[in-house]
Chain A
């Protein structure tokens, strides 16, 4: 385990696998107007762009809920169709012990 996985492994999460609080449209991401800045600007590296498959994947589990993707992605920022950014519900998501 290395890189981001090792970092997120020490941070506590109340994981809700089934209800992503951030939603993107992987197909629409192919025509990204924001230089796919989510990939480089997410401190938890939750966005991965597969150049060969022309496919964006996003994993909400491990999201630190900072909100930087909402700012760097025009579609998340404006709430374009297929894109939304919310806080997790029912105490799910990151659960800092140090903060």
Chain B
């Protein structure tokens, strides 16, 4: 074996890349990971919540040392109008260590240290300029004027996979499959303050997902997470839908902080960061090729993110895909794997996380085309509850009348029922 050739070069030190590097290094493979940020995590932004099964799969019991924020015990689903909200709150203390709120930068910094300790070589502050392709085979990368060679390049460059797109190795990112997210992080004086704001027991986490007027009829939603001593608040908007609306995204992001049902979570906090990131939401039928001659693609770059409205998952799939990529190479043994061997990675995904994507085929199309989800239904929920709770000098309105009036607001009840049934099937 050529001493200058790495077993694998990983492009990108996010959840997918670090997972692949950690796994390969643990198995004794020579791995070079190249990260364009000043540190691993410097270019990453999450909503942020991670499902712990993936961390456990990567790290075993040691995942408990990972710097996550709070274990989520309270789930809130909010239907929002311009001024009001109806929320469905679930207090789920039976869920044991299932999911945690996170901030991506510190968590990835820790994971990078783990990967290095396992023997991975990590270079930060270095942007890969291009892939080295010879006779249709990816043989390495060019960065900072250097050519670095490897048996395999694992592309984990994130949702904008410029390297693979430029070589024509995967389809160009389709704007219809993407949403744009913006997030604020507010810091509070103490963790007790965050406990109080979210009405949770000391150290317990909470997650709020909302939909309705804030996205002004465009497919999207808002999120709010209780971190240890900070709160993450943000929104996600369908890129194409928002472009068509012609409204400034920033105005909407700013209005978010003023909404009475959301402002309560951030009032009194000090804004410490504002960020933005794309979210892949295209679903199963839009996923790219997962491998080719000399390369594999993982995480966001491979479109492995799933939005079901009430859960949004990306980081756990990134970790799992990084593991699957590494395991494919470990199983293949030393030396240059053939394109056929690398295709085994797709098979692994197929038996694993892709089952989730197949089960939710059509979910994205359903949500993006069912605009009533973001306008009519939240309004209906709020109006109905407002009518039920209303007391004035006039005679009361019987419950049946209130509900009948609500039902009549649905212009086409049969079509509505059919639409909702379709939604249940796709989600």
Contact = CB atoms under 8 A, between A and B. Distances in A.
A binds B: yes
Contact of A96 (B45, B162, B232, B271): B45
B249 A64 contact: no
Chain A interface size, under 10 / 10 to 19 / 20 to 34 / 35 or more:
35 or more
Given A72-B243, A89-B144, 5 more contacts: A39-B248, A71-B278, A87-B36, A96-B105, A99-B103
A7 B253 CA distance: 11
A7 B166 CA distance: 33
B243 A41 contact: yes
At the interface, is chain A mostly helix, strand, loop or mixed? loop
25 contacts: A3-B250, A39-B248, A40-B242, A41-B180, A42-B250, A43-B253, A44-B276, A45-B248, A66-B181, A67-B160, A68-B178, A70-B160, A71-B173, A71-B175, A72-B243, A77-B175, A87-B160, A90-B125, A91-B38, A91-B124, A91-B126, A96-B43, A96-B275, A98-B105, A99-B46
A96 B44 contact: yes
A98 B159 contact: no
B246 A40 contact: yes
A68 B36 contact: no
A91 B253 CA distance: 27
Interface of B: 36-38, 41-46, 48, 103-108, 124-127, 144, 159-160, 162, 172-173, 175, 178, 180-182, 184-185, 230, 232, 239, 242-243, 246-250, 253-254, 271-278
A70 B271 CA distance: 28
Nearest to A4: B250
Contacts of A35: 243, 246
A3 B184 CA distance: 13
Contact of B230 (A4, A89, A98): A98
A86 interface: yes
Contacts of B273: 10-12, 96-99
B174 to A, nearest CB: 9
Interface string A8-42: 10111010000000000000000000110101111
